[in-house]
Chains A and B, each alone.
Chain A
Amino acid sequence: MAVTTMIGARVQRREDPKLITGHGHYIDDVTLVNMAHMSVVRSPHPHARIKSIDTAAALASKGVVAVLTYKDFKPVILGPIPVTNSFVPDKKQVPEQFPIAADEAVYAGEPVAVIIANDRYLADDAAQLVAVDYEPLPAVMDLEKAMAEGSPLVKSDRPDNIGWDASFPSGDIDAAFAEAEVTVKERIGQQRLFPTAMETRGCVADWVPFDNRVTLWTSTQVPHFIRLFVGGALGVPESQFRVISHDVGGGFGAKLRPYPEEYLATAASKICRRPVKWIEDRTESLQATTHGRGQVFDLEVAAKRDGTLLGLRFTQLLDIGAYHGVFSAFQVVACLLGGGCYDWKAINARSIGVFTNRMSTDPYRGAGRPEATHLVERAVDLVAREIGMDPAEIRRKNFVKTFPHTNNFGLVYDSGDYEKSLDRALENIGYPALRKRQEELRAQGRYMGIGFSTWVEICGLGPSSATAPAAGIALVESSMVRVHPTGSVTVSVGTHSHGQSHETTFAQIVADQLGVPMESVEIRHGDTGDTPFGYGTYGSRSLAVGGMAIVASCHKVVEKARKLAAHAFEASEDDIVVDQGRYFVRGNPAEAKVLAELAFASYGAGLPEGMEQGLEAVSYFDPPNFVWPFGCHICAVEVDPETGAVTIDRYVAVDDCGNVINPMVVDGQLHGGIAQGISQALFEEVQYDDETGQMLTGTLLDYLVPTMAEMPDFELDRTVTPSPTNELGVKGIGEAGTIASSAAVINAITDALAPFGIKHVEMPARPDRLWSMIKEARA
Chain B
Amino acid sequence: MITSAFEYARPGSVDEAQALLTKFGDDAKVIAGGQSLIPLMRLRLSQPTALIDIQGIGDLKQVRRDNGTVEIGALVRHVDIQRNATLRETLPILVEMANDVGDNQVRNLGTIGGVIAHGDAAGDYNALALMLDAEIVTNKRRHQARDFYRDIFTTVLEHDEVVTAVRFPVSTGRFAYTKFRRRLYDWAIAGVAVQETGSSWRVGYVNLARTPRRGTAVEAALAGGASAADAAAQIGSDIDPTGDVRATAEYKRHLAQVLTQRTLQQATSPA
Contact = CB atoms under 8 A, between A and B. Distances in A.
Interface of A: 120-121, 124-125, 128, 281, 283-284, 642-645, 683, 687, 696-697, 699, 701-702, 704, 706-707, 709-710, 766-768, 771-772
Nearest to A709: B184
B185 A124 contact: no
Enumerate the 3 nearest inter-chain pairs by beta-carbon distance, A residue then B residue, closest first: A768-B251, A709-B184, A768-B247
A642 B180 CA distance: 13
Contacts of B259: 643
26 contacts: A120-B2, A125-B2, A128-B44, A281-B1, A283-B1, A643-B180, A643-B259, A645-B180, A683-B183, A687-B245, A696-B245, A702-B246, A704-B183, A704-B186, A707-B185, A709-B183, A709-B184, A710-B184, A767-B251, A767-B255, A768-B248, A768-B252, A771-B251, A772-B248, A772-B250, A772-B251
B258 A642 contact: yes
A484 to B, nearest CB: 47
A124 B248 CA distance: 36
Contacts of A697: 245
B11 to A, nearest CB: 26
A513 to B, nearest CB: 46
A643 B255 contact: yes
Nearest to B2: A124
Contacts of B2: 120-121, 124-125
Nearest to A771: B251
B254 A771 contact: yes
Question: Which label, helix, strand, loop or mixed, suits the secondary structure of the A interface?
Answer: loop
B245 A702 contact: yes
Interface string B189-210: 0000000000000000000000
Interface residue range, chain B: 20 to 34
B245 A643 contact: no
B271 interface: no
Question: Which label, helix, strand, loop or mixed, suits the secondary structure of the B interface?
Answer: loop
Contacts of A642: 258
Contacts of B183: 683, 704, 706-707, 709-710
Nearest to B1: A281
Nearest to A121: B2
A62 to B, nearest CB: 10
B4 interface: yes
A709 B183 CA distance: 8
Name which of A687, A766, A768 has the most chain B CB atoms within 10 A of its CB: A768
A702 to B, nearest CB: 5
Contacts of B250: 772
Nearest to B249: A768
Given A709-B185, A771-B255, A772-B251, 15 more contacts: A120-B2, A125-B2, A128-B44, A283-B1, A283-B43, A643-B259, A683-B182, A699-B43, A701-B39, A702-B245, A704-B186, A707-B183, A768-B247, A768-B252, A771-B254
A201 B3 CA distance: 20
A120 B39 CA distance: 18
Name which of A283, A643, A645 has the most chain B CB atoms within 10 A of its CB: A643
Given A706-B183, A707-B184, A767 B245 contact: no
A124 B43 contact: no
Contacts of A120: 2
Interface string B104-121: 000000000000000000
Given A768-B247, A771-B251, A125 B4 contact: yes
Contacts of A284: 1
Contacts of B186: 701, 704
A683 B182 CA distance: 8
Contact of B247 (A125, A128, A696, A766): A766
Nearest to B262: A642
Interface string B227-253: 000000000000000000111101110
Nearest to B258: A642
Contacts of B44: 128
Contacts of B5: 125
Nearest to A282: B1
Contacts of B251: 644, 767-768, 771-772
A642 B258 CA distance: 7
Nearest to A772: B251
A696 B246 CA distance: 10
Nearest to B243: A768
Contacts of A125: 2, 4-5
Contact of A704 (B182, B254, B255): B182
A710 B248 CA distance: 22
